[in-house]
Chains A and B, each alone.
Chain A
Amino acid sequence: MSEFAQPEQYGLADLLCCAASREVGNNEIVFAGTGLPMVAIMLAQNTHAPNLKLIFEAGTLDGRPPELPTSVGDARCEMGASRASGLYDAFSIAQRGYVDLGYLGGAEVDQYGNVNTTCIGDYLDPELRLTGSGGNPDINSFAKRTVFIMVHEKRRFVEHVSYITSPGWRVKKWPGGEFVHRRELYGAAFRGGPSAVISTAGVFRFDEETGLMYLDSCHPGKTPEEIRDLCQFDLDISRVKGETVAPTLEELRIIHEVLDPDEIFIPKVKKG
């Protein structure tokens, strides 16, 4: 095990990337989104999880890209892949239940892990239309676990998201829209749900029975109380384990020298 980096040796993006990378186990099948998650998965592949299998939503199955793809449609994805095909394959495999873990992002999250990537404000008269769902709800419905990587701001950790794009642990039952446990809606298709939110403030997990988010670890320099104040809902801080584990020097080397030397997704810490 390589030694841990000192706070001045890494940036927030490095910390997020390493925390995300540690969520994946060896031999797991992982659905990769564009951006930081891709670096995190490839970091895991280069460290503790050399046998993990990567699925890119656009249709690459068990890909081993030698150079960081800029999106899942990228020609780089399929170098060394088991099969390059299309979205029907990727989503069928996911719905069939092959996927252990998916990495996702979001603009807003609520205390049940419901995530919004669709619009800010009233859907029928939005303040801002965002990108839309993409595969966020699909990966979140089909995978056994999902990890969300998010910027932490009080306006993003909300009581109610403007629009539930992606299902958390307690979701809306239509046509009435009352909140029920996810297990009740998904029936035989229930496999799990969001297992962690990694924000720029800390790492959060969920009580799978109550469906409520709790603080698991604080990033260096943050206190549980400060993080609770950064949420619009009453965050449970009683189960906090301590500080988020820092990147190791070896992880930093792999991120910046092997995976993302051009700083496409992860900026290097500037030497002062």
Chain B
Amino acid sequence: MSTDKRITLQHAAEIIKDGSRLTFSGFTIWRRPMAIVFELIRQHRKHLHLIEVQGGSHTEFLVGGGCVDIWESCWVGHELYGKYGANLSRKVAEKKLIVEDYSHAEMMFRFAAAASGAPYAVTQTALGTDIHNPEYDMLGRAGLRDGKRIARHKYQFTEDPFFGAGSQVLVPAAKVDIAVMCVQQVGEEGTVRVNGQYYSDPEAARAADITIVMAEEIVPEEYLRRNADQNTIVSFEVDHILECPYGAHPTGMFGRYDVDGAFLKEFYGRSRTQEGFDDFANEWIHGRNHLSYLEKLGWPRMLNLKANSAMNYAPREKKGGK
């Protein structure tokens, strides 16, 4: 048992090397490890291969920051604060990024396979769609399917050999080097307690070779072990931990703070061009650290996002006036 898993934000980003296959906690604009994402952009990480159940605002930052070569997933955008991924769209048009499209359930089942040590998953989804168009195997077209780091095939069809249920799709396990998680609580030995929907976090953490957990707070391990049934990720699945309050901002965190919609809307608007992205990154990312980022956001903005501890979100109707 490693006695001290604590690392710094800077070190967390340094563990992620150029070319790493990376995945994340969260869902679209919720519980994304933004502080580490910003640090990766600061450190000019390159050639990342993102494999995600679905993308979100963090994807858009990494892609706009020039950190990503390959994106294997199914969706990107900022929900109602930005209807598509402007950075990803731009890089696809410029052919600076390879996109491998799967369906959402296929991606989820790919992670479930990887998390259980199986080489592939079987499903009946998306039959008859262009997701299975053999011409649209983009990693294959790029000659990258080496059968080691990247699966030999995008998918395979098979017939159900057991019950005669017809066509089945086999999709390769989502093998990733590193999972970067952003959660409410982690214990000193790595036990994770996620509050609220845990999305695809358990599978992501288990699938990865290295799991980094950034938490709102590091708590005594024994506190989490008093109610082991409420914990989400096992201590020994976690390699590194760090405490980073508001590390998910501008994405939201159940029970702690809501999504900063105004921030995402502004980012979406400004990042529709590369110049706009660079300008935004210069304002909010480069030349800063997490504390100076929070300082720039300011107390009033953060208080407005603060979740009510009984309701777990920030009610729209504010009590006691604005």
Number of A-B contacts defined by CB within 8 Å: 216
A74 touches B125 (CB 8 A): no
What are the residues of chain B within 8 A of A47 when measuring CB–CB?
Answer: none
Name the segment of B68-76, B175-183, B218-226 touching the other chain.
B68-76
Would you call B259 and A70 a contact (CB within 8 A)? yes
| Candidates A75, A134, A185; contact of B255 at CB < 8 Å | A75
Q: Which residue of B lies closest to A188 (CB)?
A: B165
Interface residue tally on B, bucketed by range: 35 or more
- Report the nearest A residue to B155, measured CB to CB: A174
Rounded to whole angstroms, the CA-CA distance of A136 and B252 in the bound complex is: 24
B108 touches A91 (CB 8 A): yes
Contact with B along A84-98 (1 / 0, CB 8 A): 111110010011000
By a CB distance below 8 angstroms, the chain B residues around A182 are: 128
B77 within 8 A of A: yes
Please tell me if the beta carbons of A172 and B80 are within 8 angstroms of each other in the complex.
no
Instruction: Assess the A132–B196 pair: CB atoms within 8 A.
Output: no
Which listed residue, B83, B108, B261, B312, touches A75 by the CB 8 Å rule?
B312
Interface string of A183-196 (1 = CB under 8 A from B): 00111110000000
0 or 1 for each of A49-83: is its CB under 8 Å from B? (1 = yes) = 00000001111100000010011111111110000
Of B42-50, B85-93, B237-245, the segment with at least 4 beta carbons within 8 Å of chain A is: B85-93
Q: Which of A84, A132, A175, A182 has the most CB of B within 10 A?
A: A132
A223 at interface (Cβ–Cβ under 8 A)?
no
Q: CB-CB < 8 A to A114: which residues of B? A: 129
Residues of A within 8 A of B307 (CB): 75
With A129-B92, A174-B132 already in contact, the answer to whether A135 and B104 are too (CB < 8 A) is yes
Q: Mark B120-150, 1 if CB is under 8 A from A, else 0.
A: 0001111111111111100000000000000
The residues of A with any CB-CB pair to B shorter than 8 Å are 34-35, 56-60, 67, 70-79, 84-88, 91, 94-95, 114, 118, 123-124, 126, 128-138, 141-142, 163-167, 171-175, 177, 180, 182, 185-189, 262, 264-265
